[in-house]
Structure 1
């Protein structure tokens, strides 16, 4: 792996992680995947980061696992992340805010989920296999019109890897998930939007400006502590009953009213100015 196969940059509260093998449509190698999750952890722990954006260099987002790796014996549950039974990773900022996510998410591939920072996939082109799954682990997805999606697993003689079936079913329901996984067919950004896989599809040259403006709005106007709590609520909501969710939200609301960000939010609203949240 080249040292430049994964790029990481932080600016104005946004960490951008870029797959950078454009000549291979950003196909993943095991070292790239390990570096990817290291960047996710770094962004999650960095108080200067409010939002994490994932994208690809060139004309593709990520074509999945490199074909040179598939069938080599290198792939499998150990690639790039520990198995589900591995010890929990070191505590990250926000772990103690909102519902307890460790009830449902151990360490490993779910680093994008367990990070308490909003995660956005900017899907600028083809997104296949493991690249598709990584995008499903994000909270929000925007796609270019030229984007092509493919859950290729059945065509390769393998099951839905890395919890693809769980993620898709949670996002778009069982019937639509079955269609995409059984057929292993390709579909475009417009259909991804219709199915509910992406939040919006945009002209190719408008994608990154849209994502930048969207992330900047979150950085400027949303309290980090609120975002951490809301993200935990969203990802645990379908596994809790109504009463569990209600109790957890009331508890977090009581805690939030004691924070500086709550006082800043009320004061800025009263003063009709932009808030200056500090994350505490």
Structure 2
């Protein structure tokens, strides 16, 4: 399979990864998943990339693992960010790999904001990839479900862990036990997505949102805050407070801090460099 299965583009500080098997609702193959993780690693290591957006081509986001490979023993080695060169921001903020390994968790351990634009069906593994993002937006017509109970398997790839923390145990249990489909409106109501938008407005909204973060938020701040958010799930308050103080002591020595203060005093937009 060629790299065209995962489209990759960088513009205005935003890397956009697009699942590109529209005739299959972007269902995943092992080769496609390997390409996806390679692109995440590339975006994570690129200083020019400040935000990562994932979405799907055509009328689907990602329909999960392709039925043709389920149970067929098909496999392919998946290259993860942890096997490649160190990424930008590894030394900023609390150590995420205390809790999160590479591979599927590369979206979490990546020190850049990750956003899912769920433009259509997001089933099984497709939905799980979006759950590993920091922020999610959905089209009103999008359909989401975790299919595993109807396949005779448990919640795969951390889905139960993520859903319980996003939604609480009762709502997570409802979605996992029934494997029912929900639309974008319900996904917003129960808290899987940050907002639901009309179909044609979804991607323009997400790109404007991502470009706003890339243009106006200091990349070192983003890296530290992302690490704080994800490690706070397991840390107690005193550890989180201590880590925040440590990062603040480091941040005030940076050029970006001077730029942020200077731009505020001069009443202009900041120009952050990540230094």
The normalised TM-score by structure 1 is: 0.95
**Cα deviation code 1:205-256 (max 9, x no counterpart):** 0001100110111011100000000000000002000000000000000000
Q: Which residue of 2 aligns with 1:135?
A: 130
Q: Equivalents in 2 of 1:217, 1:230: separation in Å?
A: 17
Deviation at 1:90, TM superposition (A): 3.6
Tell me the number of residue pairs that the alignment of Structure 1 and Structure 2 aligns.
Answer: 275
Q: Equivalents in 1 of 2:265, 2:214: separation in Å?
A: 20
Conservation of the 8 A alpha-carbon contact between 1:89 and 1:107: no
Q: Equivalents in 2 of 1:88, 1:208: separation in Å?
A: 32
Q: What is the CA RMSD across the aligned residues, in angstroms?
A: 1.4
**Alignment map for 1:1-280 (pairs within 5 Å):** 1-74=1-74, 80=78, 90-280=85-275
Conservation of the 8 A alpha-carbon contact between 2:41 and 2:84: no
Deviation at 1:30, TM superposition (A): 0.3
Q: After TM superposition, what 4+ stretches of structure 1 lie above 4 angstroms from structure 2?
A: 86-89
Deviation at 1:106, TM superposition (A): 1.7
Q: Equivalents in 2 of 1:64, 1:102: separation in Å?
A: 26
Q: Equivalents in 1 of 2:137, 2:77: separation in Å?
A: 27
Deviation at 1:87, TM superposition (A): 6.9
Q: Equivalents in 1 of 2:253, 2:180: separation in Å?
A: 51
Deviation at 1:100, TM superposition (A): 1.1
| Residue 127 to residue 79, structure 1, CA distance change in 2 (3 Å) | farther
For 2:104, what is the secondary structure of its paired residue?
coil
| Residue 31 to residue 266, structure 1, CA distance change in 2 (3 Å) | same
Deviation at 1:81, TM superposition (A): 5.3
Conservation of the 8 A alpha-carbon contact between 2:10 and 2:16: yes
**Cα deviation code 1:55-109 (max 9, x no counterpart):** 000000000000000110125xx76357xxx976542111111111121112221
Structure 2: 5+ residue runs without aligned partners?
none
The normalised TM-score by structure 2 is: 0.97
Q: Equivalents in 2 of 1:216, 1:94: separation in Å?
A: 19
Q: Equivalents in 1 of 2:83, 2:67: separation in Å?
A: 31
Q: Equivalents in 1 of 2:182, 2:2: separation in Å?
A: 31
For 1:238, what is the secondary structure of its paired residue?
coil
Deviation at 1:158, TM superposition (A): 0.6
Structure 1: 5+ residue runs without aligned partners?
none
| Residue 87 to residue 189, structure 1, CA distance change in 2 (3 Å) | closer
